């Protein structure tokens, strides 16, 4: 009988040409998805010639987490796979950075994974994201108000550049075409004891409400194959995004000197609106913009300033944009409480609340 989990992992590894003697990191929480990933990767390591190491993050939030580490260590010992455990204070991170526990948990996980990858010179970090995770991610982004880039969802493979000058490392998702029910069946058939995090049922988290309320409703009332439809949408959006990003790079390049970014207003305004918006976002991102700095209203404000040749326009994210003699310059400024002009009236409005693209 063909195992869909094992088949998906093998196909992924073969298609991504794992270098000889490469070290791969399996991110394992202890849930069904990550355990299925671990056991599949462990079965293939000798045949495909890679070294395998497990990374697990202790979030410092549950009394049972110590027991989880003990059980995971025993499982890794049985497989002959070394385990690295990162002990993180997620509540402390949330308080220090003024973010939700969900966001702090993600920061802690990837920070730990990047540390382990750097320590062992890993080629890639493999996570247990499934097709169900992809569907949930797309719905969350659609509700927040995203563009084509955000509709690309979770990438099957992406080269990440970790902070603190660490070497780039690949993020691989070998199970992205596998359903969560299939990873659960994989573990049940092999008698694997999975660790269930109670937080996955907590309705305070938006992803859980999408998982337990919205997706079942859409399946029941609109499309029984909604998860596959959303995953297909992500595939199409990623391909379109790749082509459009390459076009934007080619038709309107910009340069940078000492933190000031420059481009020609005429070249930008000659583009179709879709490409103008992309160039504006690329300019803001290159200058260090993240989150709300890349939001729809901030991009529109930048384009309005160029179109109307503003001497100076302050943008969200502490950016100053100037247009003089057809040259557009953008630079980061220190002041945090600047006032922003209204594209329609030239007045300074209350901050807009439109959500950023994901």
How does strand 23-27 pair with strand 319-324? unpaired
Give the model's pLDDT for residue 327: 94
Structure tokens at 354: 């439109």
The CA distance from 259 to 92, in Å, is 33
Confidence band (pLDDT; 50, 70, 90) for 1?
Answer: low
Is the pLDDT assigned to residue 307 strictly greater than 50?
yes
Structure tokens at 211: 């998982």
Give the model's pLDDT for residue 210: 96
Segment (H or E) for 300:
helix 296-307
pLDDT: is 24 or 358 the higher one?
24
Give the model's pLDDT for residue 351: 35
The CA distance from 36 to 194, in Å, is 10
Q: Stretch 125-136: mean pLDDT, rounded?
A: 98
Backbone angles phi, psi at 85, to 5 degrees: -115, 130
The rounded percent of the chain whose pLDDT value lies above 70 is: 92
pLDDT in tens, 254-283: 888 888 999 999 999 999 999 999 999 999
Beta carbons of 315 and 337 less than 8 angstroms apart: no
Measured N-to-C along each axis, helices 4-15 and 180-189 cross at an angle, to the nearest 10 degrees, of: 110
Confidence band (pLDDT; 50, 70, 90) for 197?
Answer: confident
Beta carbons of 303 and 316 less than 8 angstroms apart: no
Beta carbons of 125 and 174 less than 8 angstroms apart: no
Dihedral sign computed on CA atoms, order 319, 251, 159, 123: negative
pLDDT: is 177 or 103 the higher one?
177
Q: Stretch 238-254: mean pLDDT, rounded?
A: 88
Is the pLDDT assigned to residue 301 strictly greater than 90?
yes
pLDDT in tens, 149-167: 899 999 999 999 887 768 8
Give the model's pLDDT for residue 195: 85
Please give the sequence-ordered ranges of beta strands (E in DSSP) within the chain, or none if there are none.
23-27, 51-58, 83-87, 124-126, 157-160, 169-172, 255-257, 260-264, 313-315, 319-324, 327-332
Beta carbons of 269 and 298 less than 8 angstroms apart: no
Is the pLDDT assigned to residue 338 strictly greater than 50?
no
Q: Stretch 58-83: mean pLDDT, rounded?
A: 88
pLDDT in tens, 47-56: 999 999 999 9
Is the pLDDT assigned to residue 341 strictly greater than 60?
no
The rounded percent of the chain whose pLDDT value lies above 90 is: 62
Give the model's pLDDT for residue 334: 65
- Chain-wide mean pLDDT for the chain? 88
The CA distance from 90 to 86, in Å, is 11
The CA distance from 127 to 134, in Å, is 13
pTM: 0.84
Backbone angles phi, psi at 19, to 5 degrees: -60, 150
């Amino acid at each position: 009988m063909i195992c869909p989990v094992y088949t998906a992992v093998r196909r992924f590894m073969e298609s991504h040409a794992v270098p000889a003697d490469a070290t791969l990191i399996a991110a394992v929480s202890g849930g069904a998805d990550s355990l299925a990933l671990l056991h599949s990767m462990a079965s293939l390591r000798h045949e495909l010639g890679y070294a395998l190491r497990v990374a697990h993050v202790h979030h410092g939030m549950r009394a049972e987490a110590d027991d989880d580490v003990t059980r995971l260590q025993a499982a890794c010992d049985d497989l002959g796979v070394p385990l690295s455990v990162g002990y993180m204070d997620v509540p402390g991170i949330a308080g220090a950075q003024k973010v939700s526990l969900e966001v702090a948990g993600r920061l802690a996980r990837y920070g730990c994974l990047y540390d382990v990858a750097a320590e062992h010179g890993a080629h890639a970090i493999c996570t247990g994201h499934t097709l169900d995770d992809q569907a949930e991610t797309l719905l969350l982004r659609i509700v927040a108000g995203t563009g084509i880039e955000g509709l690309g969802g979770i990438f099957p493979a992406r080269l990440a550049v970790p902070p603190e000058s660490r070497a780039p490392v690949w993020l691989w998702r070998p199970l992205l075409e596998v359903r969560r029910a299939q990873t659960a069946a994989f573990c049940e058939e092999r008698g694997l004891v999975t660790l269930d995090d109670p937080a996955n049922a907590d309705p305070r988290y938006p992803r859980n409400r999408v998982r337990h309320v919205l997706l079942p409703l859409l399946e029941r009332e609109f499309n029984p194959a909604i998860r596959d439809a959303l995953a297909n949408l992500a595939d199409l959006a990623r391909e379109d995004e790749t082509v459009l990003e390459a076009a934007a790079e080619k038709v309107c390049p910009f340069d940078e000197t000492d933190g000031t970014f420059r481009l020609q207003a005429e070249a930008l305004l000659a583009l179709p609106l879709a490409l103008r918006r992309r160039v504006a976002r690329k300019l803001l991102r290159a200058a260090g913009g993240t989150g709300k700095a890349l939001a729809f209203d901030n991009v529109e404000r930048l384009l309005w300033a160029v179109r109307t040749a503003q001497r100076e326009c302050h943008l969200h994210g502490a950016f100053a944009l100037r247009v003089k003699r057809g040259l557009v310059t953008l630079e980061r400024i220190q002041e945090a409480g600047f006032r922003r002009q209204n594209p329609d009236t030239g007045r300074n409005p209350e901050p807009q609340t439109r959500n950023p693209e994901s």
